[in-house]
A and B are shown apart, each in its own frame.
Chain A
Amino acid sequence: MPTVIFQLPDGTERKVTAASGTVLMQAAVSNGVQGIVAECGGNASCATCHVYVDAAQSELAGGPNDVEDEMLDFTAAERRPTSRLSCQVQLSDALDGLVVHVPEEQV
């Protein structure tokens, strides 16, 4: 059961534990993490579950797939090299301790 840490724009953080195999967006939404909107429910059609993976862990989390890469060009907050759609980040024990930053805006 990996634990992930959401750093919120107001400086607070939320630590959430989720089963391996679930996606990061689901872990956020089912724990009521503010700022992860996820309008499309995880289908990579809305770009409202955008997060920045902590720079030190970016390689570990991997890069975006093709559809995700396209959607990341249209996020409300600026795209950065560490940007991911949290609905496309599958959690595993290897990602235990993952830190992600939630942007100010999603829509």
Chain B
Amino acid sequence: MSAVPAVTTAAPGAPVVDLDLADLRRDPYPAYAELRRTAPLAWVPSVGRHLLTRYEDIVLAEKLPEVFSSREEGSLLLRTVGPNMLREDDPNHRRLRSAAEPPTRPRQVRDLWAGAFERTAHELLDRIAGRGEADLMADFAEPLVAANLALVLGLRDASAEDVANWSRAMMAGNSNYADDPDIWLRAERATRAIEDAVARAAEAARREPDGSVISSMVHAAGPVDLAEIQNNVKVIIGGGVNEPRDVFGVGAWALLNRPEVRERVLKEPSSWKRVFEETARWVSPIGMYPRQLTQDHEIAGLTLPAGSRVALVIASGNRDESVFERADEFDLDRPHRPHLAFGGGPHFCMGAWVARHEVSAIAWPLVFGRLKGLRLAEGATASDSGSAAGRLDGWVFRGPTSLNVTWQAA
């Protein structure tokens, strides 16, 4: 745990802003816009943290991991999965990350995994192509990214459905700010199941290395014990399903609502990369992550005492009008500014290259290429702003709950 005990109250002088968690889940963006304007560092009692909401302040915080520590006391993630690299600082974070990272590097993704990703995408589309209708989240995106994740992790005997269910249970725990006991129970069952699956996979990889994350951790130069592999696989399962799934869904939804943009992208396949980055900026699949201060520090005009709890609200930074003009709009042609959706600093998303490839090089092009006349099912069109109530849900993690579409079945 952190050397400095957590301070679970507002910093002296910090504005206190009451935000309703249900409102935030439905649509956090109006509240974020108000915070950026009036209280860029605000204590929010329902979250138990200071929310840091402006782009530049978030970037500054990310560049100071020795001040904004990832070792947060009372972290929901620690409670859900146990000690893990996401809630560690260097050098321990670096030891674990170095052990796990090689299979997620871009060349490995291209040479080792891309072929299987593509086969799985085709199989899933084969299953639904004749139907002429589907929920692209449940019937395609989630099973695709879950199967891909099982492969990259090296969970040989886990099905895509197992991985998706585990992920959902842990993500619910990790955002269980309402402290619902049923959610904790489900998360515990999932983590026990993952521990068993990882123990079996690690044993197999010890005998026969297979290039997977578990294999890489088993054979790492620096020692990594089984419990560390288990806990870090839990964290990766948590993020590795919902983030690429939700980027897929939001981006597909954005294009289905914008036929002229869709036509353009289909004519210029290289622009799928732009679609990915703009989608991740527009509706970031991870909305915020917590940090705890190791020392007194001034930011956004306030001095936070050591131990203060802060949430870096990257979803808000990505809608900061001072950085992104007409930030609420989905715009492939916006001037190029780096978004914050993958986080920054030593914790920069380890799955970034996997997600980019499986979504922008495989999932979107195949779905839009194979399903002729693809359109949103009647009644499935939510507000075009991307921030109104509708089919998007969540603020810690945010994405479409469903994406019902139709097409001309062959």
A residues sitting closer than 8 Å to B (CB atoms) are: 29, 37, 39-41, 43, 45-48, 67, 70-71, 73-74, 105-107
Are B106 and A70 in contact (CB-based, < 8 A)?
yes
The 8 A CB mask of B252-293 against A (1 = contact, 0 = none) is 000000000000000000000000010000000000000000
B401 → A minimal CB distance (Å):
29
Are B336 and A41 in contact (CB-based, < 8 A)?
no
Are B63 and A45 in contact (CB-based, < 8 A)?
no
From B338, B339, B348, B353, give the contact of A41 (CB < 8 A). B348
A98 → B minimal CB distance (Å):
23
B337 → A minimal CB distance (Å):
9
Question: A39-B338, A40-B344, A107-B277 given as contacts; is B101 within 8 A of A45 (CB)?
Answer: yes
Are B338 and A37 in contact (CB-based, < 8 A)?
yes
A70 contact set on B, CB distance < 8 A: 105-107
Are A41 and B63 in contact (CB-based, < 8 A)?
yes
Name B99-141 residues within 8 Å CB distance of A: 101, 105-107
B277 contact set on A, CB distance < 8 A: 107
B65 contact set on A, CB distance < 8 A: 41
From B348, B350, B353, give the contact of A39 (CB < 8 A). B348
Q: How many B residues touch A, CB cutoff 8 Å?
A: 21
SS class of chain A's interface: helix, strand, loop or mixed?
Answer: loop
B345 contact set on A, CB distance < 8 A: 40-41
Complex Cα spacing A107 to B360, Å = 14
A73 contact set on B, CB distance < 8 A: 106-107
15 of the cross-chain contacts (CB-CB < 8 Å) are: A39-B344, A39-B348, A41-B65, A41-B344, A43-B94, A43-B348, A45-B350, A45-B352, A46-B348, A70-B105, A74-B353, A106-B338, A107-B277, A107-B336, A107-B338
A105 contact set on B, CB distance < 8 A: 336
Of all chain A residues, the one with the shortest Cβ separation from B97 is A43
Are A45 and B338 in contact (CB-based, < 8 A)?
no
Q: Is B346 an interface residue (CB 8 A)?
A: yes
Of all chain B residues, the one with the shortest Cβ separation from A69 is B107
The 8 A CB mask of B324-362 against A (1 = contact, 0 = none) is 000000000000101100101110101011000000000
Q: Is B73 an interface residue (CB 8 A)?
A: no
B142 contact set on A, CB distance < 8 A: none
A47 contact set on B, CB distance < 8 A: 106
The 8 A CB mask of B62-74 against A (1 = contact, 0 = none) is 1101000000000
B346 contact set on A, CB distance < 8 A: 40-41, 43
8 tightest Cβ-Cβ pairs between the two chains A and B = A40-B348, A41-B345, A74-B106, A70-B107, A37-B338, A107-B338, A39-B344, A39-B348
Complex Cα spacing A106 to B344, Å = 14
From A37, A41, A43, A46, give the contact of B352 (CB < 8 A). A46
A39 contact set on B, CB distance < 8 A: 338, 342, 344, 348
A107 contact set on B, CB distance < 8 A: 277, 336, 338-339
Are A67 and B106 in contact (CB-based, < 8 A)?
no
Question: A41-B346, A45-B350 given as contacts; is B338 within 8 A of A29 (CB)?
Answer: no
Complex Cα spacing A40 to B104, Å = 14
Are A29 and B106 in contact (CB-based, < 8 A)?
no
B338 contact set on A, CB distance < 8 A: 37, 39, 48, 106-107
